[in-house]
Structure 1
């Protein structure tokens, strides 16, 4: 069987099974069993493939995923996120469009601690949109920043999706997490600049209103009590990884323990909150582990059938400049993001794109960050970006999908600017991890 026939069989089986409503992880498993039967000698090949897939689940690199998820769930369910948002809101005073700035600043902190785009978007949407709507903010000033900061959870560590991508691609988890720090902060700065431009061009989009002034002493108290402890957990986790003191798994354990300790100190760590946090983290962790299992076996089948080797030879045979190949892969990710959720995209593309990127001479950590940005953009890409529908679910009645689409576009532009900066200046991603 030719390589393109093998690739068509494997991908066609996966797409057909997903089209009839089968869950992604199960669809990959079924297609992998079919491929093993065809390419690896029937029943013995299936047994060997399943054994190899189970071996992929025992890797130490997967440990941060449940710990980062638990960290974010505790932060959400105990109300620590609400405390931080309220503090930032009071600190900004009468700044025009201040609730939009609160969304970016507080959302960046929450995204960092949660590592969950959907959780961040759901929290920000339910917490901030009703308040901004009541204050007369236009949709572009209330919904747009939330969609943007929800995607920051993918880039700024700790990011469970970054850990999953690094595991699937078999690259250094810690290096990828650290590589996202500078680009993530740049993206947050671009969002702030976008809000400033919007308020200057259309002051009525974020009308000012009176707020109760607070003293300098009260501001310092808010910072020390409600901002520094939460942000401090994130800074310490990242710092420990940057200086090589701990592994990503140890940093994740420290972060989860730190957030639980903060919740206990603030007396908001209830049995119900802890139960919901563990349950939420467990559900996503099980899904992630099934995905790793499916991806590991899918990669082996692509290699065993010759599909990976044939595809790379075909793609590199066009004699295109590597930058055009990068843009082509980026475009494929954006197109897939319009119709598929991000984990499915990773399962389909990682086994193909990373060997191709390696053959083109790209730094794989840098390439992985570009891929994360593509996934971040596709989260909000019309018509079917996942965060668009999450936002629709928590928006006030009367909010249309058109409103949400238009609000997302300026912040998608900011992300594209960051991609251009990373392509032009790769050290933005590679300097901090020391590559």
Structure 2
């Protein structure tokens, strides 16, 4: 185990030195292959890299990212929040609960959590602060609910996990529905209970109740987003289209919404959106390809097998091992970005999960639920910095403190689905 230990040290040293994650993974993996097989490693590494990326399902990745970026340039996120606020005004903490609902729906048309935080947070936080909501409740509800985009299909992390593990992306999309709804309801319930116990955090709106005609008119600003959800997910679940083909429908639909309905696209803005989508997609694909090099080295020297044997041979019950793994993933998520966590840990942990008798589909759902916690925990929680970028009136320290109770709620929901796997598997089993 000396050589694998050295390879891991090199990986951590490169990451600590500030090297891009794909370079750290590729370099350490190539070093390991060279130590194990000599010069032939320079043949193995490119084969692993291109073999990982030679996947039809990965075509969905850049298309869903493009769809999210196109919708992020429109008022869809703001319209979703306004409609939710009008319909949920009667609830205690209604604006914060509206944020959760708007983020859940926006996540279903973008698949990118940062986009949801930017689109919904830019209007939700100022509205809540103007109506007397506490900064912590406003910031926490936006940052945490933005993470729902990672779980509610179409989900970019599910596409990446499917490419790495071989699990059907369509099945993962179906499996993410129940946990996504459960998490949204849990966050909403927490907000309601919190505001009930501390009314000063969210003063009740004493103005006149909006007329029914006004609330119905507000739905007119979101019908196209709901239609896009129906087209994309309906095409996948009905078997009419693969996730990659449905992603193409989604990207085309998002372009029509941005250019034809809202008329917000200029040539310059379109080029910026395409440039951003290419950069993000290229970065993720580089990480996936280089992580395959690292993963193939680990498999070559039997690291996953040895870890599986060591854990299975312990007297600990399966649920205890699972809880330990979940805690480890939460800690890793605080230090490593979501994409890297999927592509690095999946080849190591999936053999253990299968040996213990659990479904790889269930593990993919649980892994992405872990990532939801990762994107709202420092120091790598991207949602925290995205919220700070669109809401400069909030200090980053305030944002970090605000998400901690919401993270606790997310972890409780995570453990429920860890201990009761059938909750996330019953819907895919019906299809």
Fold similarity call, TM over 0.5:
yes
Does the 8 A contact of 2:330 with 2:374 survive in 1? yes
Give the CA deviation at 1:95: 4.1
In structure 1, distance between residues paired with 2:306 and 2:264: 54
- Candidates 399, 406, 419, aligned match of 2:401: 406
Give the CA deviation at 1:232: 2.5
Aligned to 1:7: 4
> What secondary structure does 2:38 align onto?
coil
In structure 1, distance between residues paired with 2:282 and 2:225: 27
Aligned to 2:229: 234
In structure 1, distance between residues paired with 2:290 and 2:84: 42
Aligned to 2:429: 434
Once the two structures are superposed, residues 201-225 of structure 1 have per-residue CA deviations (whole angstroms, 9 ceiling, x without a partner) of 11111113455654323322322x2
- Candidates 361, 366, 373, aligned match of 2:362: 366
In structure 2, distance between residues paired with 1:211 and 1:76: 31
- Candidates 336, 341, 345, aligned match of 2:341: 345
Aligned to 1:133: 129
In structure 2, distance between residues paired with 1:121 and 1:310: 41
> What secondary structure does 2:429 align onto?
coil
In structure 1, distance between residues paired with 2:212 and 2:327: 49
Number of positions where the alignment pairs a residue of Structure 1 with one of Structure 2: 429
Aligned to 1:311: 307
Q: Go from structure 1 to structure 2 and tell me whether the alpha carbon gap of 1:273 and 1:231 turns closer, same or farther (over 3 Å shift).
A: farther
Q: Go from structure 1 to structure 2 and tell me whether the alpha carbon gap of 1:5 and 1:278 turns closer, same or farther (over 3 Å shift).
A: same
Give the CA deviation at 1:398: 5.7
Give the CA deviation at 1:281: 1.5
Aligned to 1:164: 160
In structure 2, distance between residues paired with 1:396 and 1:297: 40
- Candidates 88, 91, 100, aligned match of 1:92: 88
1:419 and 2:414 aligned: yes
Does the 8 A contact of 2:288 with 2:340 survive in 1? no
> Within 5 A, what are the aligned runs for 1:208-223?
208-211=204-207, 213-223=209-219
Once the two structures are superposed, residues 152-193 of structure 1 have per-residue CA deviations (whole angstroms, 9 ceiling, x without a partner) of 111001111221122122221111111001110111111111
1:16 and 2:25 aligned: no
- Candidates 253, 264, 284, aligned match of 1:258: 253
Aligned to 2:71: 75
Once the two structures are superposed, residues 285-314 of structure 1 have per-residue CA deviations (whole angstroms, 9 ceiling, x without a partner) of 101110111122122111112222222222
> What secondary structure does 1:433 align onto?
helix
Q: Go from structure 1 to structure 2 and tell me whether the alpha carbon gap of 1:186 and 1:102 turns closer, same or farther (over 3 Å shift).
A: same
Aligned to 2:293: 297
Show structure 2 runs of 5+ residues with no match.
Answer: none
Give the CA deviation at 1:423: 2.9
Give the CA deviation at 1:60: 0.7
Calculate the TM-score normalised by the size of structure 1: 0.92
In structure 2, distance between residues paired with 1:410 and 1:342: 21
- Candidates 380, 385, 389, aligned match of 2:385: 389
Does the 8 A contact of 1:260 with 1:269 survive in 2? no
Q: Go from structure 1 to structure 2 and tell me whether the alpha carbon gap of 1:323 and 1:259 turns closer, same or farther (over 3 Å shift).
A: same
Once the two structures are superposed, residues 124-146 of structure 1 have per-residue CA deviations (whole angstroms, 9 ceiling, x without a partner) of 33222222222221023201111
Show structure 1 runs of 5+ residues with no match.
Answer: none
Q: Go from structure 1 to structure 2 and tell me whether the alpha carbon gap of 1:393 and 1:267 turns closer, same or farther (over 3 Å shift).
A: closer
Using the TM superposition, name which of 33-42 and 413-422 deviates more. 413-422
Task: Please give the root-mean-square deviation of Cα atoms over the aligned residues, in Å.
Answer: 2.1
Once the two structures are superposed, residues 252-273 of structure 1 have per-residue CA deviations (whole angstroms, 9 ceiling, x without a partner) of 1122222222223424241244
Q: Go from structure 1 to structure 2 and tell me whether the alpha carbon gap of 1:83 and 1:7 turns closer, same or farther (over 3 Å shift).
A: same
> Within 5 A, what are the aligned runs for 1:142-221?
142-211=138-207, 213-221=209-217
Give the CA deviation at 1:283: 1.1
Aligned to 1:64: 60
Give the CA deviation at 1:59: 0.7
Does the 8 A contact of 2:77 with 2:116 survive in 1? no
Calculate the TM-score normalised by the size of structure 2: 0.93
Q: Go from structure 1 to structure 2 and tell me whether the alpha carbon gap of 1:6 and 1:359 turns closer, same or farther (over 3 Å shift).
A: farther
Does the 8 A contact of 1:178 with 1:238 survive in 2? no
1:29 and 2:26 aligned: yes
> Within 5 A, what are the aligned runs for 1:262-273?
262-271=257-266, 272-273=268-269
> What secondary structure does 2:133 align onto?
coil
